[in-house]
Chains A and B, each alone.
Chain A
Amino acid sequence: MDFLNRYKFWIIGGIILVVLIIIYNTMLKKRNKVKTAFSSLDVMLKKRYDLMPNLVSMVQKYMMHESELLIKLTELREKAQNTNSIDESIELNNQIDDTIKKLNISVEGYPDLKSNQNFLHMQAVLNDVEEQISAARRTYNSHVESYNTFIGMIPMNLFALIFRFKQYKLFEIAETERESKIWM
């Protein structure tokens, strides 16, 4: 008892320190998981960036009236490729999704293009990449959700503020829309 009385502040301090270390390590682990998930997503997105010039050069011969859409797609691709911010990348990729969706709708008006075997191949490849992006996005979102919930809870939100752990943005997209997207 004498020992406990003498060192009680040290013991309490030690316990607090251990709790702090555990919280910090958990936050760090969760943040690293988010970063790893984003890097896998980034790999998939890069695959899509690589396919986009081929897509644009293939369809521009047929879709003369959609040049504005194609230019927008090229610009968005360049911006997305050069950005280092996760949030900006998410925003730009959402715009790319939107533009590709519009392009798909426009393709319906070009039967020659629709029946072109090379274009069909391109669509098939792109579709597979889209599926991979969707999988990577779901993984990223699940880790972001877990991380954001953890650092949002009391008292972790205080420690997050002290250790400068910021919340990440979800890569939000209507999954139902993605799943129902049919190219051919």
Chain B
Amino acid sequence: MDVNIKNQYDFEKYYRNEYNEVITNYYELIKVKRLLAIIFRIIFSIILSVISVMLINTFCTKTMLNNYYSIILTIYFVIIFFATIFSIKKALNDIMFDLSEQIIKDMIAFISNNNANEVMYEPKMRVSKDSLNKMELFNLDVVKYSGKNYIKAQYNKNNMVFSDMQIYIFDTIETKKEIYREGKKYIRTTRKKKKRIIFKGLYIGATLNKKNTNHIYLIPNNLNDTVLQSKIMNYISFHGVPINLENLDFSKKYKVFCDDEVQARYILSLSLMERINKLDELYKEKKYIVFKEGKRFAICIEGISIEDIKKIRLPIFRSESKEYEQLNKIFSKINGLFEIYHILDLGNELYTKYMNQPTNNIKENNS
């Protein structure tokens, strides 16, 4: 069954009927964790204070400090007190941060109509080098990448992959300095490597509703960084030639490279170009899109990340109004990611519904 995009009303209904209870359970589960975190830190600070006082007395520093003893001790205890408070707050925040990960997983399951255990969410995992290499969007011989928050979920019979991704290169900065030694002039050259981020955003992998027989790359036209442009475009021009498409708005924003012009126009139909324009209105940042041989398709959108969604935390002490507000924010952000699927109309099976099914099977079904 096709899954439609969820809205605020759906979420409110889900929260009132089911999810409120789930959140109650989560709070119950973290109650012990929170208590332990607080007790552990208080005990630790008490032990630290006692040991400090004992050491001061043992080494007779009291007599050395004379009149300042009580003032210094007070300042010391105040510091210990605030450090303990700060440490408790951080520990509680970390617990809520872990809870956010669980909530994101639940939201994805709700939006994609899956059970939570059917959704894969690995906060420390990145898109595999092999699959990124297959997409050939960034030349991994030239650039390096890192990533986290890997999510894989089935949505409308389509395996969707989301992951935060950072593409970077190391620029070598060379500095020359003149040195005079024993009356002779020497030039000392030092080389330093500086990390330069090329892309920082979200990687989305999905399946297209049309079968593609070649590679099509859509590169933003407004790349200011010439090094970046050449690094990517050299690689792409190796695969194909640039083509001009009919949609002027689209052509202003993207350079299209492909092996086969007819295939590129088949995939980038007039309506898909319009839909990509619509997506640009929603996410104004740069986008890199690739359609690969078969039905695989990937889009890299700058400026959005799952890590930012994780920062939206529930209140440490439960308050339903605040909690709903925060959950709603998380829901809207994740729903926005799935909306990309609907904007690009990837779920439209109008043309492919019976394509992969042998005619005999259809006849059997029909009879």
From the candidates B210, B271, B355, B357, name the one contacting A179 in the complex (CB within 8 A): B271
Tell whether A138 pairs with B246 under 8 Å between CB atoms, given A40-B262, A131-B269.
yes
Tell whether A135 pairs with B262 under 8 Å between CB atoms, given A124-B351, A124-B355.
yes
Q: Is B185 an interface residue (CB 8 A)?
A: no
From the candidates A128, A139, A179, A182, name the one contacting B262 in the complex (CB within 8 A): A139
Tell whether A117 pairs with B362 under 8 Å between CB atoms, given A40-B262, A125-B355.
yes
Interface 1/0s, chain B 334-367, versus A by CB < 8 A? 0000000000000000111111010100110110
Cβ–Cβ < 8 Å partners of B265 in chain A: 134-136, 138-139
Cβ–Cβ < 8 Å partners of B270 in chain A: 175-176, 179
Q: Is B307 an interface residue (CB 8 A)?
A: no
CA distance in complex: A125, B264 (Å): 19
Q: How many A-B residue pairs have CB under 8 A?
A: 67
Cβ–Cβ < 8 Å partners of A40 in chain B: 262
Query: Do the beta carbons of B351 and A127 come within 8 Å of each other?
Result: yes
Closest to A182 in B: B350
Cβ–Cβ < 8 Å partners of B264 in chain A: 135
Q: Is B266 an interface residue (CB 8 A)?
A: yes
Tell whether A142 pairs with B365 under 8 Å between CB atoms, given A121-B359, A125-B355, A132-B266.
no
Q: What is the interface residue range for chain B against chain A?
A: 20 to 34
CA distance in complex: A134, B264 (Å): 12
Give the most central of A40, A117, A127: most B CB within 10 Å.
A117
Interface residues of B in 257-285 (CB under 8 A from A): 261-266, 269-271
Closest to A126 in B: B351
Q: Is B244 an interface residue (CB 8 A)?
A: yes
Interface residues of A in 95-150 (CB under 8 A from B): 116-118, 120-121, 124-125, 127-128, 131-132, 134-136, 138-139, 142
Q: Is A184 an interface residue (CB 8 A)?
A: yes
B271 to nearest A CB, angstroms? 5
B→A interface (CB under 8 Å): 210, 244, 246, 261-266, 269-271, 350-355, 357, 359, 362-363, 365-366
